[in-house]
Chain A
Amino acid sequence: MKKFLSAIFSIASTTCALAQEAPTSPLEFSGSVDTYYKYDFAKRPNIPTSFASDHNSVSLGMIDLVLKKKTGKASFVGEISFGPRGQTQSIPDAANNNSSFHIQNLYVNYDFSDKFSMTAGYMGTFIGYEVISPVGNFNYSTSYLFTNGPFQNAGIKATYKFSDKVSLMAGLFNDWNVYSATRGVSSIGAQLMVSPVEGWTAYLNVLSGADPYGYGTIEDLTTSYQISKAFKLGLNAANYDMADDAGGYAGVALYPQIAVADAVTLGLRGEYFKYKDVGATPGTSYTGVTFTANIKSGGLTFIPEVRLDHNGDKPFFNKTAGAAPNAGQFSLAAVYAF
């Protein structure tokens, strides 16, 4: 640990001298609000992924407010959200009573040079394809990979940009989704970004250490490729192994999207997800197909969506509350970004 920190600060002090003063930016202010209606075909909350959880209700997502400022080489980001998506359904809820707020990002960053920067604080996780904010996702409902992975990581990280096509991040983090560590600074994480051709970016991620349930290691690939002006393909694959044969998960999700008009993009999410065996208890696997449209008008995006999930172990409900292998839902969301 000491060697790692020493290496980071050696690089920092070397590159600090080479850095040129960057201009001050004005205070940035942005955010979003979202609301949705969902109808589950079993007439009750059914699919166990994050957000959009209410059945047959016009419900709230969250209001999200972001501040950012850069002065010279130093900058900060503060992002806070209110509403179910940003409170009880994100973790942690600040007051732990389901009626508080959630900090999405709270960190400071220092650019020692054009190539090297360091960041410390509470940040959106670098693992995975989907994020908490609906502005950052194409689909309104979320994948099993997202729901089961980390949402945020508090820690300190260093990023070195070799070129526009390659960069490397390494950092030390608390356990997942906590403002202050419950088991010390207990995780190490790294991310290699490569962009082999224009429009194609891939992130190879690893995070090893404490999670909410024990200790484990995630390997994750998140990539997207704008193949043509109209067609984009995204992919997320992850494997999570918990220590002491305590389970974990593995999964892959594919995200093809095609723009059919200036304001309309259609997309699919196809996902396979498996909870691993825990000792002698066998795991279980889900498949899900989600068909989503994004219709944009200025800052507003309408997101109609149909989702069908399957699991042979019948974890879902049918209309009479009996066990069912299939689940389906329709939702219509409105997301306004400003």
Chain B
Amino acid sequence: MKYLFILFIAIISFKVSAQQKQFPLDDSGKFIYYEVVDVKTTPKDSLLMRANTFLNADKKSIVKQNSTDSSITAKGKMVIDKTILVAGHPSGEVNYILNFEARDKKYRYWLSDFEYIPYQRDRYGNYVATTKVGTALEKTPGKLNAGEWKDILESAYNKTAKFAENFKKALATNIVDKQKTKANTVSTKKW
């Protein structure tokens, strides 16, 4: 009985901690993921260079649209997965716009204009986009599809948070240091 009680408390705790995080709304009523980051010593040019390097590394997922000497705009997509027990499949993609602005010792970025495009299995068993027209993530679905939409929102938020984490990590890493780290080799001559 004691173990059952502990298990019950553990499940409740897990559920509370796993509650869905939501995108806040911007001034125009659209979902936004916004963050200002202070960096103590990094100049603006280095931040821009690091951001460019990050964006150029995965052109299948994100493509630059515009850039100036202090800002970058890019269009990206993240694939949403549907999981069945341990396996799953892609169920759609969320397209978004990334805005990045840099100043000396600080930068800000935000992801907005989230649109969902559902995937459907094609005749060859591959999941592909069913339409080019996306549905804004802010849109409230009808009752019939509310549960599925909630899962999509949750997955989109988690993927966005993961993207933000990787983006900040890239901007905190000196590219020269990164290359040095990569070039490190293990010598077996001295021991």
A residues sitting closer than 8 Å to B (CB atoms) are 26-30, 66, 68, 77-79, 104-105, 107, 123-126, 131, 133, 135-136, 198-199, 226, 228-229, 232, 261-263, 295-299, 337-338
Q: Is the CB of A262 within 8 A of B124?
A: no
Which interface residue of A68, A105, A135, A337 has the most chain B CB atoms within 10 A?
A: A68
- Complex contact A226–B144 (CB within 8 A): no
A262→B88 contact, CB < 8 A: no
**Cβ of B43 under 8 Å from chain A:** no
Known contacts A26-B88, A29-B88, A229-B133; decide if A298 and B148 are in contact (CB<8 Å): yes
> Please, which residue of chain B has its CB at the minimum distance from the CB of A136?
B123
CB-CB under 8 A from B84, the residues of chain A are 29-30, 338
Please count how many residues in chain B sit with their CB below 8 Å of the partner chain's CB atoms.
23
Find chain A residues with CB under 8 A from B82 CB.
Answer: 30, 338
Within 8 A of A (CB), among B143-161: 144-145, 147-148
Interface string of B106-138 (1 = CB under 8 A from A): 000000000000001111111100011100000
A29-B89, A262-B145, A296-B144 known; A226 vs B125 contact (CB < 8 Å):
no
The answer to whether A133 touches B124 (Cβ under 8 A) is: no
Interfacial chain A residues near B147, Cβ < 8 Å: 298
Task: Scan residues 85-102 of chain B and give those whose CB is less than 8 A from a CB of chain A.
Answer: 87-90
Most buried by A among B125, B126, B131: B125
Contact, CB under 8 Å: A28 / B88: yes
Which of A30, A105, A232 meets B124, CB within 8 Å? A105
Closest residue on chain B to residue A28 by CB atoms: B89
Does B29 reach chain A (CB closer than 8 Å)?
Answer: no
Contacts of A27 in B (CB 8 A): 87
Give complex CA distance A27, B87 in Å: 6
Q: How near does chain B come to A154, taking the closest CB pair, in angstroms?
A: 13
23 contacting pairs across A/B (C-beta < 8 A): A26-B88, A28-B127, A29-B87, A29-B88, A30-B121, A30-B127, A66-B125, A68-B126, A77-B124, A79-B125, A105-B125, A123-B123, A125-B123, A126-B123, A133-B121, A135-B120, A135-B121, A226-B131, A226-B132, A228-B133, A262-B145, A263-B145, A296-B145
Q: What would 17 more interface pairs be, CB under 8 Å, given A78-B125, A199-B132, A229-B133?
A: A27-B87, A28-B87, A77-B125, A105-B125, A124-B123, A124-B124, A125-B123, A133-B121, A133-B123, A136-B122, A199-B133, A226-B133, A232-B131, A262-B141, A262-B142, A263-B144, A298-B145
What residues on B are CB-neighbors of A30 within 8 Å?
82, 84, 88-89, 121, 127
Decide: A337 and B121 in contact? CB cutoff 8 A: yes
What are the residues of chain A within 8 A of B126 when measuring CB–CB? 68, 77
Q: How far is the CB of B94 from chain A (nearest CB, A)?
A: 17
**Bound complex: CA of A235 vs CA of B125, how far in Å?**
22
A263 to B146, CA, bound (A): 10
Q: Could you tell me the distance between the alpha carbons of A295 and B87 in the complex, rounded to whole angstroms?
A: 27
Chain B residue at smallest Cβ distance from A133: B121
Give the Cβ gap from B121 to chain A, nearest Cβ, in Å: 6
User: In the bound complex, what is the Cα–Cα distance between A261 and B145 (angstroms)?
Assistant: 11
Chain B residues positioned under 8 Å from A263 (CB to CB): 141-142, 144-145
Q: Tell me the bound Cα distance from A198 to B129 in angstroms.
A: 13
Closest 10 CB pairs of A and B: A124-B123, A29-B87, A297-B144, A77-B125, A263-B144, A28-B89, A30-B89, A262-B142, A199-B132, A131-B123
Bound Cα distance A88, B60 (Å): 42
Judging by beta carbons under 8 Å apart, are A297 and B145 in contact?
yes
B148 — nearest CB in chain A belongs to which residue? Answer: A298
A27 to B89, alpha carbons, bound, how many Å? 8
Docked Cα-Cα span, A207 to B131, in Å, equals 27
* B178–chain A nearest beta-carbon distance, Å: 19
Least distance between A266 CB and chain B CB atoms (Å) = 16
Evaluate contact between A261 and B87: CB separation under 8 angstroms: no
Give the Cβ gap from A209 to chain B, nearest Cβ, in Å: 20
Task: A133 to B148: give the CA distance in the assembly, Å.
Answer: 22
- Min CB–CB distance B162 → chain A (angstroms): 15
Beta-carbon contacts of B65-96 to A below 8 Å, as 1s and 0s?
A: 00000000000000000101001111000000
Complex Cα distance A37/B90, Å?
31
Which residues of chain A have C-beta atoms less than 8 A from B131's C-beta? 199, 226, 232
Taken together as a complex, chains A and B put the C-alpha atoms of A299 and B151 apart, in Å, by 12
Could you tell me the distance between the alpha carbons of A298 and B142 in the complex, rounded to whole angstroms?
Answer: 11
In angstroms, Cα B121 to Cα A26, docked, is 17
The residue in chain B whose Cβ has the minimal distance to the Cβ of A114 is B60
For B120, list chain A residues within 8 Å (CB): 135-136
Note all chain A residues with C-beta closer than 8 A to B144: 262-263, 295-298
Most buried by B among A29, A79, A126, A133: A29
- A23 CB to nearest B CB, Å: 10
Q: Which residues of B contact A131 (CB under 8 A)?
A: 123
- Separation in Å of the A260 CB from the closest CB of chain B? 12
